[in-house]
Structure 1
């Protein structure tokens, strides 16, 4: 790479017909440019230039070397420009696994914006609850919520979502409104609970407490949890991004606003760090947009 850089400097010196003009065009010191050409001559074992106080002239070997360097440098510059265009407008099929409810509720507008920015990309999304295998299945990326499970995969953090407590006006009218974490033990609590019971970790900025909660429903669907909450079936602990629509239309409202759950990380999971442009742009776009919405 250093040899190619010195070849490019040599071409600029010849085209500018001197060190001063080339140094001004390249915005580097004249002495640095002269030293780099001397290093190049030593590296290839050829005298390329006759130097005088007024001008430079190519030696016979320098003329031959200049023609070859010019072709190599021009081809490298063209390849760099083409690569830049490819990175600016990536194309191809992007296969991604997305968390169902977060994708439908929150990511859909971002995905539509991304699709408009990059018309050359087509999409194949898997929104099933299953955990796809990035090693054996042809997916480019998986968006996951919660702690990363497989340390052998590459997890790139996108955002951290804050979970809060929500309930419907109907449920609160019927069952009363909890005021402290301990009050939740006598309420119907909806969540990803095992065997109808589980533990919620709540924080209020200075304190952290764990409350054992339970309910009549055992679920593995965030969408169903949210829907049952709007139907007056209990209290949920979910990120605001998941219940934004229900909050806007009044079907859910926040309870115990001073308390919140542990931050829930959102990751982009890939098998490798070497990503095609389409995948790299998708991850960068989601990270930027999710950060703007915080």
Structure 2
């Protein structure tokens, strides 16, 4: 049991490359953690870490040991959860990183419902466009929009939703802008979209038909909420999901343009650093996937 405890401590240090961060996550002092890692190195007779005042680096042996230990610790945690009834009564803190717009417009009501369904689970939430490092940052789960990450290869991505993408603009903008009857006409219009969204042009779909058009943006931003607000003010055309646009559509501030055409839906993934996740993480991913699918089928 002592060796397994050492492994758990070592895995946390190896993931964060920082004794203070690892100690905070483990709920112990940095000095106690350092002594335990030193005892582990002494017991196995191999140096696992290069320590400096700023950072901890893994030795070659330390990296190999980490690769083996991580799966062992994950399996032990899963077994421990099952033995103490965690799968039936999940508890503890669920740490999630997610994009701001997705969190506010989609996940907030689902989080509230999940919290009611599982009252013993607490949450630490980061709403940010920052791409967290699941191997170093203390998150159980990251929810991200776009293709599944290709690196590092240890990450596990599960697709949980497809979000539709349609074009919206304010009536005032459409009244003064050039005609917009076909996707080709978009080249003459002001767009409020993400800066990299037009790099290879846009392909729009109308049933089996498709049209690719080269477009350029006037307002480049990394916020769907801001693009919606600018479009509602008449600045240009935004790419939105109907859920994001619903309030402005209801009030008449936005109107769908080229209504027969849509861009390919955008993928949403739940990403973890291991397949052996805690019961609370597994339950949450299943919960939001089911709820998002129900929203799409009803919408």
Same fold (TM over 0.5): yes
Residue of structure 2 in register with 1:251 after alignment: 253
Q: How do 1:1-80 and structure 2 match up within 5 A? A: none
Aligned to 2:149: 149
For structure 2, the 5+ residue unaligned runs are 1-78
Equivalent position to 1:165, from 167, 170, 174: 167
Q: Over the residues paired in the alignment, what is the CA RMSD in angstroms?
A: 2.4
The worse-fitting range, judged by mean Cα deviation, of 245-254 and 110-119 is: 245-254
- Pick closer, same or farther for the CA change 1:207–1:84 going to 2, 3 Å: farther
Shift in Å, 1:242: 2.5
2: CA distance, partners of 1:195 / 1:86: 43
The DSSP-based 3-state class of the residue aligned with 1:138 is coil
Residue matched to 2:216: 214
Q: Is residue 2:119 matched to residue 1:119?
A: yes
Q: CA deviation at 1:84?
A: 8.4
Residues 173 and 191 (structure 1), Cα distance of their counterparts in 2 relative to 1, 3 Å cut = same
Instruction: Tell me the equivalent position of 1:140.
Output: 140
Contact 2:81–2:279 (CA under 8 A) maintained in structure 1: no
Q: 1:246 to 1:156 in 2, by over 3 A?
A: same
The partner residue of 1:277 within 267, 271, 279 is 279
The offset of 1:134, in angstroms, is 0.6
Deviation at 1:82, TM superposition (A): 7.2
In structure 1, stretches of 5+ residues that fail to align are 1-78
**1:91 match:** 91
Q: CA deviation at 1:199?
A: 2.0
**Cα distance in 1, alignment partners of residues 264 and 283 from structure 2:** 29
Asked if 2 retains the 8 angstrom alpha-carbon contact of 1:197 and 1:215, the reply is no
Q: Tell me what 1:178 maps to.
A: 180
Partner Cα distance (1:156, 1:285) in 2: 13
Task: Determine the C-alpha separation between the residues in 2 that align with 1:195 and 1:222.
Answer: 12
Matched residue count:
216
Distance 1:243 1:131, change over 3 A: same
Does the residue aligned with 2:244 lie in a helix, a strand or coil?
coil
Alignment correspondent of 2:60: none
CA distance in 2, matches of 1:117, 1:213: 46
User: How far has the Cα of 1:195 moved from its partner?
Assistant: 10
TM-score by length of 1: 0.68
Asked if structure 2 preserves the Cα contact closer than 8 Å seen for 1:190 and 1:215, the reply is yes
Q: Return the TM-score normalized by structure 2.
A: 0.67
**SS state at 1:241 partner:** helix
Q: Give me the whole-angstrom Cα distance separating, in 1, the residues matched to 2:198 and 2:272.
A: 34
Quote how far apart the aligned CAs of 1:171 are.
Answer: 1.1
Contact between 2:81 and 2:87, CA under 8 Å: does it hold in 1?
A: no
Counterpart CA distance in 1 for 2:210 and 2:222 is 26
Q: CA deviation at 1:111?
A: 0.9
Alpha-carbon offset, residue 293 of structure 1: 0.8
What's the offset of the Cα at 1:274?
A: 0.3
Relative to structure 1, is the Cα distance of residues 215 and 84 closer, same or farther in structure 2, using a 3 angstrom cutoff?
A: same
Deviation (angstroms), 1:216: 2.2
Task: Tell me the secondary structure at the aligned position of residue 94 of structure 2.
Answer: strand
Q: Does the aligned pair in 1 maintain the 2:178–2:188 contact within 8 Å?
A: no
Runs (4+) of structure 1 exceeding 4 A deviation are 79-85, 194-198
Q: Secondary structure at the match of 2:235?
A: coil
